[in-house]
Amino acid sequence: MPVIPRRKGFFSGFAALVRMRLIIPLLRSKKPPEFTARGALVGMAWAMTPLVGVQMYLVFMTWLGTKRFFNWDFSLPVALAFTWVTNVFTVPPFYYAFYVTGKAMTGTFAERTTYAKFAGMLKEALHEGGIAEALKTTADIMIRDWGVSMMIGSVPWIVVGGWLAYRYVLSFARKRELIRQKRLEKKAQAEQKTIKDIKQETV
């Protein structure tokens, strides 16, 4: 009897996505901790905007612009990975949070749309495609009555999210660098001990 492979659940699929897009780029980075953390800052900042479908393109343009005009560099793979914080699973709640925050900031909180209606409208606007389709989707969302609130409301999320991503990744990368240095030191000590033992045996 053939074995039917089990389908991955929501959380296992999301965990795999996080590992592939976020954790692995962090672990593989060989640059200084600050370089990696700057990538997290830029990626998270763009992820915390309602520019659905074009965050990765905007990260790439930011990378080109900051390197050329400001001599300020960051990890492009890490930045691109962090845009996946807002993905197919998290877009509706994140974008609704932007929308509600914007309504609160503009004093129109009582006029807010319910989450169910908002998520339905967002689902209709979102669809797969290339950059042209992504730009069309973004424009479609922004011209709706809740687009302005989302843009305004995303500002504190951009600031706080970018800062938290920077601090967390900087701490994580520094710990990883410290562990790597200790391993290299132990390896060097072991090699020196081996050489010393060999010399003693040959005397």
What region does 107 belong to: left with phi over 0, alpha with psi -120 to 50, or beta?
left
| Residue-by-residue DSSP string for 88-109 | TTTHHHHHHHHHHHHHHHTT-G
pLDDT per residue over 135-179, tens digit each?
A: 666 666 666 667 888 899 999 999 999 999 999 999 988 888 888
What per-residue confidence (pLDDT) applies to 59?
95
Q: Select, from the ranges 21-25, 113-117, 184-188, the one with the highest average predicted confidence (pLDDT).
A: 113-117
What per-residue confidence (pLDDT) applies to 144?
65
3-state secondary structure 118-135: HHHHHHHHCCCCCHHHHH
Phi first, then psi: give them for residue 68, nearest 5 degrees.
-80, -45
Pair 124, 174: CB distance under 8 Å: no
pLDDT per residue over 65-107, tens digit each?
A: 998 899 899 999 889 989 988 877 788 899 899 999 999 998 8
Pair 78, 26: CB distance under 8 Å: yes
First to last CA, the chain: 68
